[in-house]
Chains A and B, each alone.
Chain A
Amino acid sequence: MIGRVRWAFWGTIACSFILLGLATQRGALLALAIPFLVFLFSSFYLGGSLVPILKATRTLSTSRAQSGEEVTVHIEITNEGSSVEEIEIIDSIPSYLERVAGEPRLITTLKSGETAQIEYTVRGRRGFAQWNQLSITAGDHLGLRRRFTKVSCQGHLFVLPNFPKLYEVEIRPRRTRVYSGSVRTKLGGPGIEFFGIREYYPGDALRHLNWKATAHYDQPITNEFEQERVADIGIVLDCRERTEVSVGGDSLFEQAVGAASALADFFISRGNRLGLLVYGDYIDWTFPGFCRLQREKLLQSLARAELSNKTIFEDLENIPTKLFPAGSQLVIVSSLCEDDVEILLQLCGLYHVIVVSPNPILFELSRTHPTDAILIASRIASLRREIVLSQLRQAGIRLVDWDTQSDLPIPVEQALGRHTLRHQQAMRGRP
């Protein structure tokens, strides 16, 4: 009971004593009202300021953290105005974060020039947490006067997704950039991997002479290597709510974000030029770039990624293809719907497409108690999904059908590793 309610409560008691005293003509009953009147009147004369001039600063132990990592939030509030008898300071914790230790609230007296401090520790799941204001309630000790204000106190924290490290993803985009990198180009030239042999020309390195071939053809023959260059890669993360499966707090989308992060980390660490499209809520496009700064931008974008159910992005047909250079590598991370096939086949004509698809059926099945009906339903759903996947495979799309129970690197290396690529090419009769 505080503020107006307390005013009314004490005021009613004082009035009751006065009326009772007058009605019964007992002076002592009137005297009982006096302490209450003194309390009510004194709050105005001895109450102190209710309009503090506050300056608040927020310091975080880090502005980027991995999911589950603890972060300490420290707030300093300095009173640059007149003294306040009682000040309540409440900091609201963003929904992505949970408090681990300390209290985000404080009640204290704050004299002019004094500083109060709040410190608490939070732990977050993937997301972007932003603090804007502190809620301040200034009051007097008697609890009769209160004034509510907000003080600006900015701060933000990126909680980056956790992801496994990938070691081998072989890509073969139709076009590469001129800079040397790690993507093999099907062109002879300087490199590491043997590509073929050709006639020796003056200026060729003598150490690359192929002596056996020279003896065989009776003319100087030199080894040729496959050129390795950097490539343009675009990752598309599917954030459509219709592709999401959530069971008991576990989300398939989070697995997809983890996969996209792992792929982004891998491609950028190999020196490629990487862009990211978060497809669902709006066209959230991270412009392609290289190096660690780009990696940070991509991870921050993935940290912000959220599911969306906007009608315009219901299908993949609104993927803005102009963002990706023609012939570049496109990696789509999506659990896929049946009607995505057509769009993916169209994209296949423009880009070299890889689809990493967390399996929604196995995801849900592993988190539910399997009854006969559920098992039959899952078999039907698996067959339908297999039809979709086989259509994509037939079109030349390289595919990772990821059972999220297993670690991502295993299925990725099985499906996208160097040996798998050679095997796939051999099956199609390509060199």
Chain B
Amino acid sequence: MSAKVARGLIFLSATWLAFSLAWGAHWAASSLIAIVGIVWTLNTFVRWYFWSSFAFLVLLGGSALLVLWGGSEWIGLLTAVMALLAWDLESFHRRLRLYETSEGQIEWAHLQKVGFIGIVGLALASIPLMWHFVINLGWALFAAIVLMGALILTLRWGGRTAG
């Protein structure tokens, strides 16, 4: 089940992103995203392990470029979230193949959890897209430092239990 969902998400995110880039006449980037999306989808069958991480990064890069080139911010965000979910589900499915799983129970639980957090992430990320505000450089720097500090602390904290 997780593999099918991952394939669907890969297809949707790559298609949207490729069309959006093509809409802005960024033909090279659009073609690249389309090719990467197709190969990533095929890769879910043939298991070329490093490729999914590479394709995931390419799609994230494409989302960032779309935003930078003035394309739809919503499509950029949706693509990033879907690529994240697809990458996680594919990785999870790969792990499941090594084990004798009990009647798909864990797969369903994983999908629910990841889907819920993905929706929460999408909802939180859409707030700044809907509500535009301007802050001066000092506040921006302060916010950046606080955020980076929090992130570093979280990473260190997480690193202890990450195993």
Q: Write the residues of chain A forming the contact surface with B, with a CB cutoff of 8 angstroms.
A: 1-4, 6-9, 11, 13-15, 17-18, 20, 22, 24-32, 34-44, 46, 50, 85-86, 88, 102-103, 105-109, 116, 118, 137, 139, 141-148
Contacts and interface: CB of A to CB of B under 8 A. Distances in A.
B159 A7 contact: yes
A147 to B, nearest CB: 6
B100 A106 contact: yes
Given A32-B80, A103-B99, A146-B162, 19 more contacts: A1-B53, A6-B162, A15-B151, A18-B148, A22-B140, A27-B129, A28-B77, A29-B64, A29-B67, A31-B129, A36-B121, A40-B154, A46-B113, A107-B96, A107-B98, A108-B102, A109-B106, A141-B109, A142-B114
B128 A27 contact: yes
Interface string B67-101: 11000010011001100100010011001101111
Given A32-B67, A38-B121, A145-B163, A43 B101 contact: no
Interface of B: 53, 57, 60, 63-64, 67-68, 73, 76-77, 80-81, 84, 88, 91-92, 95-96, 98-102, 105-106, 109-110, 113-114, 117-118, 120-122, 124-126, 128-129, 132, 140, 144, 147-148, 151, 154-155, 157-159, 161-163
Nearest to A104: B100
Contacts, number: 156
A105 B110 CA distance: 19
A11 B100 contact: no
Contact of B121 (A39, A88, A147): A39
Contacts of B67: 26, 28-29, 32
A107 B99 contact: yes
Contacts of B63: 32
Contacts of B77: 28, 31-32, 35
B128 A148 contact: no
Contacts of B92: 143
A145 B154 CA distance: 12
Contacts of A44: 154, 157-158
A3 B162 contact: yes
B84 A39 contact: yes
B76 A32 contact: yes
Contacts of B64: 17, 20, 29, 32
B76 to A, nearest CB: 7
A26 B84 contact: no
B73 A28 contact: yes
B2 to A, nearest CB: 11
A235 to B, nearest CB: 44
Nearest to B125: A34
Contacts of A28: 67, 73, 76-77, 128-129
A22 B163 contact: no
A141 B95 CA distance: 12
Contact of A43 (B124, B125, B158): B158
